[in-house]
A and B are shown apart, each in its own frame.
Chain A
Amino acid sequence: MAKKKLNHGNPIWNFFTSVQLTVVVLLLLAATSIIGTLIPQNASSLFYFKKYGEVFYKLFTALNIFDMYHSWWFLLLLGLLAVNLIVCSIDRLESTWKIIFPEKVVFNLERYKKIKKKEEFVSKETSDELKEKYKLFIEKKFAKVIEKETENGFALFAEKGRWTRAGVYIVHLSVILLLAGAVIGGVWGFKGFVKIPEGESVDAFETRKNNSIIKLGFTIKCNKFDVSFYDTGQPDEYKSNITIFENGKETLTTDIIVNDPLRYKGISFYQSNYGTASAKEVSLIITSNESNMVYTETLSQGMTIDLPEAGGKFILDGFVQGYDFRGHNLGESFVGRLIDNSSKELSVVMPVKFPTFDKMRRGAFSFEIEKFEKRYYTGLQVTKDPGVWYVYTGFIFMIIGCWITFFMSHQSICVEVKKIEKGSSVMVAGFAHRNRQSMKIKTAGLAEKMKGI
């Protein structure tokens, strides 16, 4: 950007144009960000209370430390950065604009002569011979050549890359776009989670932030969930096959896998987790402890059967992921009820891994699970983020802008040729608004080639 600063004489304005402020704000952002990596974020109050004790719990809560990246003071720092950036850019834009689009390009020979690292050599050819050759050569490497007659020779000037001075503005604009995208996503977006058992549908979900229910505007049904494993037992792939219905009409059937979400009407569904929702085709082994007869029955959840030997009724109520028995986790279990002929109800627990468990009840019948088919649920993360396109545009601008500022520059070159006895003396000097080192190397390379022509 241009060196000359417009002085608005307004202290608030000047405060926001300063790069010192930038350094301070970035330092504060970096330093405070560390806190959130040391203290787990967004955990439960109970967890914090236990971990930090009452005093620190209260202090940290007051300072929003447990959700610090969304706290007022962190957002204030980001806001300060944005204002700093916008004000600073506006402040400098006018003078940069004048450099990028000058009314008239003027070259000052003296300025090039003052450059320390310039190349000088002597050529046998006359200055008139050199003129045309050099003009052609420079024109190829730069843009249009401007020619000036001097006392005893001539000077050629050329330049390129004026526009690269805009590179820094592109970088800074990208930062604004990122911040804007984050704000838009935070205000108009949402994030939540749904569990859909195979064969069932949902038309709403719960948000993560305040557990409110949001309507999707359509219905999503999970037809089937699949998980495949490697030989090592590590999961290879999760896949949900889903169908979308609008007003009762099927509009789309597709698979959702990890890394390949479904996007529908601005809402995205990501494969997030899975579990066993319930069971179907449960094979039950029923042993009568009076007759020692063994019966098998296949039933589904919620079904009622008549027990053999006129022993009453049995209802298979449901499936539990981890049944808790006096503090022990029995793992996947089924629960049911036995209703005997006097209408007395008894509850029955059938852990899959402990088939003899129900024998301990010492009832007229004991029940065990032979096998069953799992019915999975799929866990989908549901998000809507209208800010994401601003963020992505910001990403692209950031990369392009950095590339321009780091590796390109506004370069100009001056070739001065003076008549001497038996030939000419040549000076080549180059100037760049940044990356002077590489311009020096470039100038030396150009001079080397010019010696040869």
Chain B
Amino acid sequence: MRLGHERPDDDHYVAFASSALVDLRRTAYLICGDWHRADDVAQEALIRIYSAWSRIERTTGLMPYARRTVVRLLVDHSRRPWRRETTGVAVDPAPVRDQTDVVDNRILLLEALAQLPPRRRACVVLRYFDDLSVAETAAALGCSEGTVKSQTSRGIDELRSVLEQRGFTDLGLLKGVTT
């Protein structure tokens, strides 16, 4: 089955890529903790969209497709061992903290996120950073809504635990976070 006029015109593609790239690479960064890798998967997702633009636009929607591709490239199994079995996450080297006990929430949060298993981390990022619904997150991850709920809940619990272990003093950060 070949559909005609699948490709977008150049202006449309560049406009979409420009706007989507910012969000995609940030989502990817929160999931993988590595800007270079985030760029790679965001770029790959946008390249894949090009050749089936019309179909994706008509069915999945461009941004959901791009986000799903990013997540799957980072998280999901694939036939190649190095992608299928990738789990460990290295956050970019954290800046050395100063000696004044000033806690950098940003760094602590990234470190805590990196402690979560990949799919759990993706659930938290998609739900709270991308503000996706449970159903949208399930679609992005290719799993059931129940799985999203349980994984997100466990992810938040683990985040809270890790932050507390690290002496994070602003315990209100996760207070009231519901899944």
B partners with A: no
**A-binding residues in B (CB < 8 A):** none
